[in-house]
Every structure is written in structure tokens, then in C-alpha cells.
Amino acid sequence: MPVLVMKFGGTSVATLDRIRRAAKRVGVEVAKGYDVIVIVSAMSGETNKLVGYVDETSPLYDAREYDAVVSSGENVTAGLMALTLQEMDVPARSWQGWQVPLMTNSAHASARIEEIPTDNINAKFGEGMKVAVVAGFQGISPEGRITTLGRGGSDTTAVAFAAAFDAERCDIYTDVDGVYTTDPRVCEKARKLDRISFEEMLELASLGAKVLQTRSVELAMRYKVKLRVLSSFEEQSDEAGTLVCDEEEIMESNVVAGVAYSRDEAKMTLVSVADRPGIAAAIFGPLAEAGVNVDMIVQNISEDGRTDMTFSCPTTEVARAEKAMNDLKENGELNFAEIITDADVAKVSVVGIGMRSAAGVAAKMFKVLSDDGVNIQVITTSEIKISVLVARKYMELAVQALHDAFELDKA
């Protein structure tokens, strides 16, 4: 039997009613003759609640126990989905990550999938089971501990299963009806795309568009998974939603494909560090060791052999970054006057493979922002994206202004 992977996100399984609705969609595919692997997220809000419990119990928590707690939301939905399918006379059973077993490395809270053996589930398909409901987001480490794949990780579970089982398609059911030119909740003119290239989706995801987890796009690209994003709230045809595919499968595209934003960024400046070879390594080595994901970096001009070093990181990592820097200062390994932290910034980015060959996108972006009085604090570019750091209060304005200026509402 051909295999289909269907993933339902948190809002799509938020209530028993919605689980029934999702189960009906699964029933439709079973009736077409597919063996279906359903990947479920925790019910909407559950994972946040569990993360809150952990933070309150232990601020500098043991990541193995964090995973033990936050993985549990998916277990509930997997069981409920299997029961709902059984009530509809569809032969189904639930699988937790360790039962598959979905093997990961030991990087708790952001583990990478290493292997998904197919024999257990295939044996059950052979015995007449039609649907394997798998708890998303979770796996098991070589040490036998439960791991999780990072926030939004059920998308990655879904794509990895599609690759392992050579599925005909991986359908990601969510609360929007596809991938848009930008987040439709921030810009009402956002336009749904019928297709988007893996490269552009990868950039948009890594720059904050949470409709797909970055790692899921990477895996789909590597294993040539036919990946589709669609709404669990509407009746669907085979053509619905957005197909994430190779660049070559897209006839014509705009220079800029989309705008992404990341709200929870912080900007930190180390004032007056020595301007000497090795200073960047002396700062960013220890930050990496402390688990701080540094994104943008700027070294300001130097005066009298001293310079300021500015970098950005997620707001959740500011405390760890400050501690790492202050420890270095106390140990005499790094000398600086002070740390200035601005935890009220956001990153706004434009993305498009057309930028490889079109000049002037950056200039236009900067002009649009200045016309709206938005001050740009830090800039980074790559071949197919330009990102700027701006005060958070300007984030939505910047997204909308860029969406207008690059005419993303027009195909």
C-alpha cells in the first residue's frame, strides 16, 4: 500500500471536536487506499504550559527532565487520536517516540533524528492496521532517555517519517491554508503561495516564519519529500495548500518571495573591548560554550585601540550571555567597560532566490524603512536574504511596508 504522512499541529487538535475533524480527514485518505502515518502535536497551549512548569520549578533545569516533561503533551493527543479513529472503525494504534523507536542524538531540547526503523510499524500495517498515530516532537537518545526536537519539532517528525517510509506525500495540516508571502496575522495583504522553493522556505523558516520548523524543510530538501502545507479547517482537494518543491518546478517568481520576522531578539553591546587579533574568538567562543545562539555581529570602528562589539541573540538567552561575559571579566580573561542590553528589538528579513541576480534590493529595503522613520540598528545579508534589526515597536510596520514596497500581494 502507498504510505501517506499527515501531521496535525496544536490548533488542529486543540479540542476533542477538532481531533474528530482531523480523524475524519484521515479516514478519507484511508478510504483512498493509503496506509497512513499520522503525526500529532500536543493540544494547543499544552507545550507552553509544560515549559512554564519546568521554568518555575527549576530555572537552570536539567534538559533531560525538561524533555521528560514537555514531551508528554504529544502522548495525550496520540492516544486520543487513535481512540477517535477506532470509534470510526478505522484500525489504528498510537506510538510514542521510544516505541518506534525514533532514535535521536543526546542534544536534549533540540535533538536531531538519527534513525527511524520501519519494521515495527510496517509489521502492524501488514496485520491490517491502517493508521499509525505517532506522537510528534519526541524521540529517544542512545542513553535511553526521552528527547525532544526543539519547538515546532512535530513538523520535523513528520518529514522524517515521510522520508523513512518513502511516503507519497507529507501533508502538514495547520491553522492557515498554506505558506504566505508573510505571516497573514501581521499583514492582511499577505498572499498565499501555490508553490515555494525549498531554499526560500528554509530561509523564511530560519528567519522566524514558524509555519514549518527549519529542520523539517532541510530534511524534505535532502530526501526529496513531497511536502505540502494546508489547512485542517477547510475541505481539501488534492491541489490545496502550498507545495514546497524544487526551484525548477516553479515557473516564474518575484525577486523577493517573502518577508519574515523574529520578535524575540535582543541586542547586546560590549563597550570598549581591546581591538586586537583574537578578540572575537575570546568573546564568541565562551558564548557558544554557554549555549548562546549568536546571530548578527558587528564590530564598531576602533578608537585608541578600543572598540565596541555588538551582537544579537534570542531574548531567552540574554541572562546566560551576560553571565558568560561577566565571568570572563571577573577571571581577567576579557576587559570591557560595560554591557548594554536592548531586549526590545526584532529582526525583519526579506527573502528571495531572485536576489541572486537582481541588484538594488538592499537599497530599496533601506529606503522603504527610512521613509517610514524606522531606524536600522544592524544589517546582515546573504545571497538570498537581507535582515535588519529594528526596535520591536516598528516590527509590524516594517513587515507591512516591505510587503507593499516589493508588491508581494501581486503574483
Binding footprint of ligand ASP on the chain (CB under 6 A): 9-10, 41-42, 47, 73, 136-137, 151-155
Q: Which stretch binds ligand ADP (CB under 6 A): 102-110, 202-210, 331-339, 400-408?
A: 202-210
Report d(CA 392, CA 266) in Å as an integer.
10
Does position 210 interact with ligand ADP (CB under 6 A)? The reply is: yes
Amino acid letter at 33?
A: G
Q: Which stretch binds ligand ADP (CB under 6 A): 88-96, 203-211, 272-280, 315-323?
A: 203-211
Taking residues 75 to 104 in sequence order and writing x for each that binds ligand ADP by CB under 6 A, - otherwise, the string is ------------------------------
Among 180, 198, 311, 336, binds ligand ADP (CB under 6 A): 180
- DSSP H or E stretch at residue 87: helix 72-87
**Those residues with Cβ within 8 angstroms of residue 57's Cβ, 6 or more apart along the chain or in another chain:** none
150: left (phi over 0), alpha (psi -120 to 50) or beta: left
Which of 9, 97 has the CB closer to Mg ion?
A: 9
Q: Which of 182, 357, 365 is nearest to 255 (CA)?
A: 357
Report d(CA 95, CA 145) in Å as an integer.
16
Which residue is listed with cell 537582481?
Answer: 358
Q: Choose from Mg ion, ligand ASP, ligand ADP, none: what does 137 bind? Cβ within 5-8 Å by kind.
A: ligand ASP
Q: Choose from ligand ADP, ligand ASP, Mg ion, none: what does 185 bind? Cβ within 5-8 Å by kind.
A: ligand ADP
**Those residues with Cβ within 8 angstroms of residue 304's Cβ, 6 or more apart along the chain or in another chain:** none
Does position 352 interact with Mg ion (CB under 5 A)? The reply is: no
Among 139, 152, 241, 352, binds Mg ion (CB under 5 A): 152
Q: Choose from ligand ADP, Mg ion, ligand ASP, none: what does 42 bind? Cβ within 5-8 Å by kind.
A: ligand ASP
Which of 193, 325 has the CB closer to ligand ADP?
A: 193
Which of 11, 307 has the CB closer to ligand ADP?
A: 11
Which of 10, 352 has the CB closer to ligand ASP?
A: 10
Report d(CA 315, CA 342) in Å as an integer.
9
Report d(CA 184, CA 165) in Å as an integer.
33
Reduced to 3 states (helix: H, G, I; strand: E, B; else coil), residue 273 is: strand
Do residues 260 and 211 lie in contact, with contact meaning Cβ atoms separated by under 8 Å? no
Q: How many CB atoms lie within 10 A of CB 152?
A: 21
CA 303 from centre of chain = 40
Do residues 274 and 302 lie in contact, with contact meaning Cβ atoms separated by under 8 Å? no
Q: Choose from ligand ASP, Mg ion, ligand ADP, none: what does 156 bind? Cβ within 5-8 Å by kind.
A: none
Among 27, 73, 97, 152, binds ligand ADP (CB under 6 A): 152
Among 96, 141, 148, 182, binds ligand ADP (CB under 6 A): 182
Binding site for ligand ADP (CB under 6 A): 9-12, 41, 152, 174-176, 179-180, 182-183, 185, 204, 209-211, 258
